[in-house]
Amino acid sequence: MQKFQDLGLDASILDALAQKGFSEPTPIQEKVIPILLQRDRNVVGQAQTGTGKTAAFGLPIVQNIEERSGKVQAIILAPTRELAVQVAEEMDSFKGKKRLQITTVYGGQPIDRQIRELQKGADIVVGTPGRVIDLIKRNKLQLSEVKYFVLDEADEMLNMGFIEDIEYILSETNDDKQVLLFSATMPSKILKLAKKYMGDYELLHVEKSQVTTENTEQLYYAVSAKDKMKVLERIMEMTPDFYGIVFCNTRMGTDDVTRELNKMGVAAEALHGDVQQNQRERILQRFKNKACTVLCATDVAARGIDVNELTHVINYQLPQDPEAYVHRIGRTGRAGNKGVAISLIANGEKKQMNIIQSISKVQMTKAELPSAKEMIQAKMDKIFADIITTELTEKDANILKLATRLIESNESSDVLTAALKYFLKDELQAKNFEEIKMQKDLGGTKGNGEVRLFVAKGKRDRMSPQDLEAFICAQSGIASNAFLDTFMLDEFSFVTLESDDADVVLARFKNITSDGKSVITKAKQRDGGGGSSRGGSKFGAGSREKDSKFRSGDGGRRNDSSSSNGGRRRSTETSSSFGGGRRRSESSTSSNAGGRRRKESSGAGNHNSFYGKPSGEKSKFKNAKY
Exposure string over 220-245, b if 16+ CB within 10 A, otherwise e: bbbbbbbbbbbbbbbbbbeeeebbbb
Average pLDDT score over residue span 384-408 = 83
Contact 272/301 with Cβ under 8 angstroms?
Answer: yes
Q: Please determine, for residue 7, whether its predicted confidence score (pLDDT) is greater than 80.
A: yes
Q: Residue 464 and residue 404: Cα distance in Å, rounded?
A: 65
Question: Within 10 A of 571 (CB to CB), how many other CB atoms are there?
Answer: 25
Q: Residue 289 and residue 602: Cα distance in Å, rounded?
A: 29
447 half-sphere exposure, CB direction, 13 A CA radius: 1
Q: Residue 205 and residue 552: Cα distance in Å, rounded?
A: 29
Task: Grade residue 402 by pLDDT with cuts at 50, 70 and 90.
Answer: confident
Given this model, what pLDDT does residue 438 score?
Answer: 61
Given this model, what pLDDT does residue 1 score?
Answer: 55
Task: Grade residue 587 by pLDDT with cuts at 50, 70 and 90.
Answer: very low
pLDDT in tens, 485-536: 788 888 889 888 888 788 889 988 988 887 778 899 998 764 333 333 333 3
Given this model, what pLDDT does residue 270 score?
Answer: 94
Q: Residue 123 and residue 103: Cα distance in Å, rounded?
A: 8
More confident residue, 537 or 190: 190
Contact 161/569 with Cβ under 8 angstroms?
Answer: yes
pLDDT in tens, 287-315: 999 999 999 998 877 766 778 789 999 99
Domains with residue ranges and CATH for the chain: 4-205 (3.40.50.300), 211-366 (3.40.50.300), 450-611 (3.30.70.330)
Q: Please determine, for residue 206, whether its predicted confidence score (pLDDT) is greater than 90.
A: no
CA angle 511, 514, 519 (to 5 degrees): 60
Of the ranges 1-15, 83-97, 121-135, the best mean pLDDT one = 121-135
CA dihedral 387, 392, 396, 401 (to 10 degrees): 80
Q: Please determine, for residue 169, whether its predicted confidence score (pLDDT) is greater than 90.
A: yes
The average confidence (pLDDT) of the chain is 76
Given this model, what pLDDT does residue 405 score?
Answer: 84
Q: Please determine, for residue 178, whether its predicted confidence score (pLDDT) is greater than 70.
A: yes
**Please, which residues bridge with residue 621 across strands?**
514
Give DSSP secondary structure letters for 292-320: S-EEEE-HHHHTT---S---EEEESS--S
Q: Residue 314 and residue 319: Cα distance in Å, rounded?
A: 11
More confident residue, 311 or 38: 311
Exposure string over 58-84, b if 16+ CB within 10 A, otherwise e: bbbbbbbbeeeeebbbbbbbbbbbbbb
Among 1-10, 147-156, 465-474, 561-570, name the one with the lowest average pLDDT.
Answer: 561-570
Burial of 112 (0-12, 13-18, 19+ CB in 10 A): exposed
pLDDT in tens, 84-101: 887 888 888 888 888 899
**Please, which residues bridge with residue 201 across strands?**
42
The percentage of residues in the chain with a pLDDT greater than 90, rounded to a whole number, is 22
Q: Please determine, for residue 418, whether its predicted confidence score (pLDDT) is greater than 90.
A: no
Given this model, what pLDDT does residue 48 score?
Answer: 66
Average pLDDT score over residue span 271-277 = 79
Contacts made by residues 280-287, CB under 8 angstroms, sequence distance 24+: 280/81, 280/82, 280/108, 284/82
Q: Residue 437 and residue 223: Cα distance in Å, rounded?
A: 7
Average pLDDT score over residue span 129-140 = 95
C-alpha radius of gyration, the chain, whole number: 27
Average pLDDT score over residue span 150-170 = 87
Q: In what order do the strands lie in the sheet with 102-105?
A: 102-105, 124-127, 74-77, 148-151, 178-183, 42-46, 201-205
Given this model, what pLDDT does residue 433 score?
Answer: 65
CA dihedral 151, 328, 546, 556 (to 10 degrees): -120
What is the value of pTM for the model shown?
A: 0.46
Q: Please determine, for residue 566, whether its predicted confidence score (pLDDT) is greater than 60.
A: no
Contact 590/162 with Cβ under 8 angstroms?
Answer: no
Q: At what angle do helices 53-64 and 11-19 cross, to 10 degrees?
A: 140
Given this model, what pLDDT does residue 431 score?
Answer: 64
Q: Residue 622 and residue 303: Cα distance in Å, rounded?
A: 45
Considering Cα of 317, then 320, then 324, then 330, what sign does the dihedral take?
positive
Among 55-64, 327-336, 341-350, 551-560, name the one with the lowest average pLDDT.
Answer: 551-560
Contact 120/101 with Cβ under 8 angstroms?
Answer: yes
Give the list of residues 6+ apart from residue 604 with CB closer than 8 angstroms, or none.
Answer: 251, 252, 255, 466, 469, 470, 480
Task: Grade residue 161 by pLDDT with cuts at 50, 70 and 90.
Answer: confident
Given this model, what pLDDT does residue 242 score?
Answer: 93
Q: Residue 71 and residue 101: Cα distance in Å, rounded?
A: 10
Question: Within 10 A of 535 (CB to CB), how many other CB atoms are there?
Answer: 12
Average pLDDT score over residue span 445-474 = 81
Average pLDDT score over residue span 580-588 = 38
Average pLDDT score over residue span 39-61 = 83
